[in-house]
A = this chain, B = another copy of it.
Amino acid sequence: MNAKQQAKYEARAKIIKALAHPTRLFIVDELSKTEQRCVCELTEMIGVDMSTVSRHLALLKNAGIVEDEKRGSMVYYRLRMSCVLKFFDCIESVIACNAANQQQLLT
């Protein structure tokens, strides 16, 4: 693998890594349902420290998946690349396929 290839896969991995956490998946899911949410709302829903949520959001933003907008003292986040939602169908089918496989091993 040459340097250019390497860079390509690293760039891709960075985006995927940004999604690779339950809390961040929840955030993406939530923003697909509700257009925009402030940090405090998400914090409330998730149930971890606000600083932790803030960092998750910063990470998603840095990857280009969400964007933020400050209004007054609140910061609202919304989905910037909604194509990531398409991942979920495939993910679910992987999970279902794994489950079916597990099942089969028992018989």
B64 lies within 8 A of A94 (CB):
yes
B20 lies within 8 A of A16 (CB):
yes
Q: Is A103 an interface residue (CB 8 A)?
A: no
Give chain A's interface secondary structure class.
helix
A17 lies within 8 A of B15 (CB):
no
Binary CB contact string for chain A from 1 to 38 against chain B (1 if under 8 A, 0 otherwise): 10001100111110111011111011001000000000
B11 lies within 8 A of A46 (CB):
no
Size class of the contact patch on chain A: 35 or more
A5 lies within 8 A of B17 (CB):
no
Q: Is A65 an interface residue (CB 8 A)?
A: yes
Q: Is A95 an interface residue (CB 8 A)?
A: yes
